[in-house]
Amino acid sequence: MASDQSPAPESPGANDSPAGEPHEEPRRSFVFEIASIVIGGLVGMVPLLVGVVTFLDPLGRAKKKPLWYAQGGDGDDGFIRISSLGALEENAEPQRFPVIADKQDAWNYIPNQPIGAVFVQRLADNQVRVFNATCPHAGCSVSCVGTAFHCPCHNSAFDLDGSKLVSESGRNNPSPRPLDSLEVDPARLEKDQEVWVKFQNFYTGKHEKKPKS
């Protein structure tokens, strides 16, 4: 005789709660693991992105400015202001001026740095003559004494036009070339009465005047 106590059919959702919890737990853990991986990855990306931006930043800045540029002007043409014309007496002894400019390399910007020195002499008709103050022989600094330039290191001597002189001691002048003349901006000299110079250092100990980069 058939029994009336056959098992009752499961109703939909019978495992949902609280009997369903053992099935939900693995799913929840999986979601937490994925979320942890994603968040951890994003957090780890931050220093990486900062490093990449910092590393690439100079590439963008290098396009905006040259390695060094002039103080008191945009300097895009490479000229640096040295003096006003009015501060120079006509046909007087050449005056020595430090050359001050802002320096910039890929990662550093250093304002107002001395990058060399020049001798400036004002001639007739508002013309000027400018020389790099570095001796072409081995790089010592020349001085102007009376009517000539003199280098104390090995007794090179130069006329006021920069040409080599035989030293007073009779020894050969060891400099391989005359003093290095520098280009003056004629427009600023005539219009603004100011001396702007394209400052440049050159390799020493060579007969040819070869600019350093």
91 or 172: whose CB is closer to ligand FES? 172
Give the Å distances, CA to CA, from 103 to 59, 78, 80: 16, 12, 13
The secondary structure element, H or E, covering residue 84 is strand 79-84
Partner residues linked to 101 by β-bridges: 70, 113
Segment lying near ligand FES (by CB under 6 A), choices 32-40, 51-59, 91-99, 134-142: 134-142
Q: Is residue 118 at the binding interface for ligand FES, with CB under 6 A as the rule? A: no
The minimum distance between CB 173 and ligand FES, in angstroms, equals 8
The distance of closest approach from Cβ of residue 162 to ligand FES in the complex, given in angstroms and rounded to an integer, is 14
Query: Is residue 135 within the footprint of ligand FES (CB under 6 A)?
Result: yes
- Is-contact 177 208, C-beta < 8 A? yes
99 vs 151, which CB is nearer to ligand FES? 151
| Sign of the torsion formed by the C-alpha atoms of 52, 55, 59 and 64 | positive
What's the farthest any 2 CA atoms get from each other in the chain?
Answer: 144
Nearer to ligand FES, 127 or 201 (CB): 201
Note whether 176 binds ligand FES by CB under 6 A: no
State the pairing for strand pair 157-159/148-150. Answer: antiparallel
Binding site for ligand FES (CB under 6 A): 135, 137-138, 140, 151, 153-154, 156, 174-175
